[in-house]
Structure 1
């Protein structure tokens, strides 16, 4: 959801609370129940005066301008993932009667810097609560690296990261001057083992600075609503997502478009049985 749509117990400029659901209407209902201002979160938004569940079924989105991006200008993506997501995007554009527009995103690759900044803040919080540094060994490799890198940040480095994040927000906001909706793959590669490690080479190219999920953090940074919906399966049977990103506070558009795709291309609501 939009940043502030769901109030937080502890304020954060990057964190939003959402829910994994099996259907778009379940997601909309979650927002209807949980959305609204809370006095302990100064950034929380007023309670919407309309039902997201109803809007997901009725909002008129025809004619909205849509742009496709493979990689936001920096992601290292698997060709198969892009191809499957693009096919789903074409179905959505046709079903929702959207107006296709050319989109050339060329955002800066700052995911490693973002992770260091988030890691530094999390390190400080967990140290104050007594979990770190003594229990750092209980974490897996990726969060360990992020926390340890964040712990070494200097004031000057924090300032530089914030400056570059500010530029990223301006650049991304500018893309919505001529576009109402951005559609893209959700992640860069098919699912890997939960135990890790995350792949650093994708499609034969170095992805150490972008990782397997290079695009999602943009919504956290820029406060845009974004929703991932099933787009299809890879040849090996792994699911692929299509990400729909919309302007700030237009959660209703994201939900309606996701719902239209769900109606046009229903996805299974249960995992396949394994022998």
Structure 2
């Protein structure tokens, strides 16, 4: 039951083929079995979840209308506020923080019928694509316990891979939905900016941060996007299209589509040879599916500077006051990011936005010629869990904890939706995802392309031994 697709489990629940109590019990047993080794779920509220499951069964028994995610158990990302359940952001400063209300993403999932079972692990304040923090420690990769699960939605991705939950919410500034999906052989969607509204936030007009869905299949990602998307008066940058426009199971016919293949984003990033090989094979799969595949990449000049400037500015806006109060309570890389933002001038920030605008215009023109762009999600396979980050990629030294994620964060600057789909494994059995990027507001087309690839390859069906042995 724990590896049944969320869409199918939701159908079984609505048709009373299985109860919410039974679904919850199966997932709690899987958490008990796998989580001690993986450390994905860091706060568990099993008793509360049991009460919610019982109430869900009663509502259905009395003929009440239920939501599309009725009875599905989910642990939410530990940077998304959950009313009455601690939300730590991976920081000792918030280790005992218990919010009074839900974040919008949690609110929408619960309104759709989700049963909250706890929280999933994150890096400190979700900074960096490796899930480790001083409150809970590291989340380990289900396919190799000595490796990273990625981040910042690393706990969510690992929990999905192990069958601890069928769906997950995540967030993504520089790759936090895509990188852990790639590392853990699941699916993560960074939507078009504004597609999934964010509240509460100190930066409601952020041009680089997105919230979105994760699951084990593209179809289940579409199901969750259907719940998460749509406008909200508390989110001024939200797009108006209702979530119902994305909820259907995506089609799979991609014949005749023009697909650009960029294994190193046009030379913009170094890429480990093992990752490059997987991405190039993905291009071959699309040719077999009837697509026209060509080597091409939009000009991403200026995207690196734009991302670093706007990220530092947003970190300063969000965390500067807390840093002043607790100067020794932040990891060095995060503290340096905040302080870099503090040094920015209005001219610096304005230049960052201007560079982003120029990148987005070139990308818009690019997608006038192509339907999708294939690129690596991460430039390296999952790295040792004891590292903070890879210090070199393909022999090229990395200047800081961000640069090894450039294949993801350069795409963040474009504002385009980007989907990480399982694409294969290295010779050591480590998962590698392909990043499929589409035009802005083109989620439905992107989901169709991703599902066609997923159905043709089946890489996402390979389960980790820790979850099945």
TM-score by length of 2: 0.53
Alignment of 1:208-247 (within 5 A): 208=399, 211-247=403-439
Does residue 64 of structure 1 match 2:257? Answer: yes
Deviation larger for 199-208 or 66-75: 199-208
Cα separation, 1, equivalents of 2:424 and 2:449: 17
C-alpha contact (below 8 Å) 2:356/2:413 kept by paired residues? yes
Does residue 120 of structure 1 match 2:313? Answer: yes
Change (3 A) 1:198 1:141: farther
Does residue 259 of structure 1 match 2:451? Answer: yes
Please identify the structure whose Cα radius of gyration is greater.
2
**179, 184, 204: which one pairs with 2:395?**
204
Cα deviation for residue 195 of structure 1 reads 4.9
Count matched residues. 271
C-alpha contact (below 8 Å) 1:198/1:211 kept by paired residues? no
Change (3 A) 1:141 1:89: farther
Cα separation, 1, equivalents of 2:262 and 2:376: 8
Cα separation, 1, equivalents of 2:448 and 2:280: 19
Deviation larger for 34-43 or 202-211: 202-211
Alignment RMSD, CA only?
2.4
Change (3 A) 1:236 1:140: farther
**187, 193, 196: which one pairs with 2:378?**
187
Match of 1:31 in 2: 225
SS in 1 for 2:363: helix
Cα deviation for residue 238 of structure 1 reads 1.7
Does residue 163 of structure 1 match 2:354? Answer: yes
Cα deviation for residue 55 of structure 1 reads 4.8
Cα deviation for residue 109 of structure 1 reads 5.5
Cα separation, 1, equivalents of 2:249 and 2:302: 35
TM-score by length of 1: 0.88
Q: Deviation per CA, 1:149-205, whole angstroms, max 9, x where unpaired? A: 112112222222222222222222222121111011111111223453222321112
Change (3 A) 1:187 1:65: same
Cα deviation for residue 62 of structure 1 reads 2.1
Cα separation, 2, equivalents of 1:98 and 1:38: 37
SS in 2 for 1:212: helix
Match of 1:4 in 2: 194
Match of 1:111 in 2: 304
Q: Deviation per CA, 1:96-145, whole angstroms, max 9, x where unpaired? A: x2122341444225425522321222222223xx4222335333343233
Cα separation, 1, equivalents of 2:213 and 2:330: 24
Cα separation, 2, equivalents of 1:229 and 1:104: 19
Change (3 A) 1:119 1:49: closer
**289, 292, 300: which one pairs with 1:99?**
292
Where relative contact order (Cα < 8 A, 6+ residues apart) is larger, the structure is 1
Cα separation, 2, equivalents of 1:136 and 1:149: 15
Cα separation, 1, equivalents of 2:227 and 2:390: 37
**Structure 2 unaligned blocks of 5 or more:** 1-190
Match of 1:41 in 2: 235
